[in-house]
Amino acid sequence: MLFFSTSTWEPENSNKIIEHFKKLRPPAGVKIINQWVDISGGRYFILYETEDAKSFAEFNLPWSDICYIETSVVMESTEFIKLMSSKGV
């Protein structure tokens, strides 16, 4: 499954966030597709794939002390349209 996460943090945590980024190594079972940083500050976006809750938790929990993470399960729009069409929608 694909996950799109937006992480935000308080300005006083910026240095801690940079240190986390330097050490970012996804656990087994997590494949990073792409990632972006809001150059105006305070936000990070990441698209990644994983199939199990354990890998998801291992990837996100180390950040929970310094930022807020909002995650959505996503699907490419062409795949979504195919799925909905197959359901008669």
Q: State the total domains in the chain.
A: 1
Is the pLDDT assigned to residue 23 strictly greater than 90? no
CB 67 within 8 A of CB 8: yes
Torsion sign (Cα): 76, 78, 81, 85: negative
Average pLDDT, the chain: 93
Q: Which domain holds residue 28?
A: 2-86
Give the domain CATH number at 42.
Answer: 3.30.70.100
Q: Is the pLDDT of residue 56 over 90?
A: yes
Give the predicted TM-score (pTM) of the model.
Answer: 0.85
Maximum Cα–Cα distance for the chain, whole Å?
51
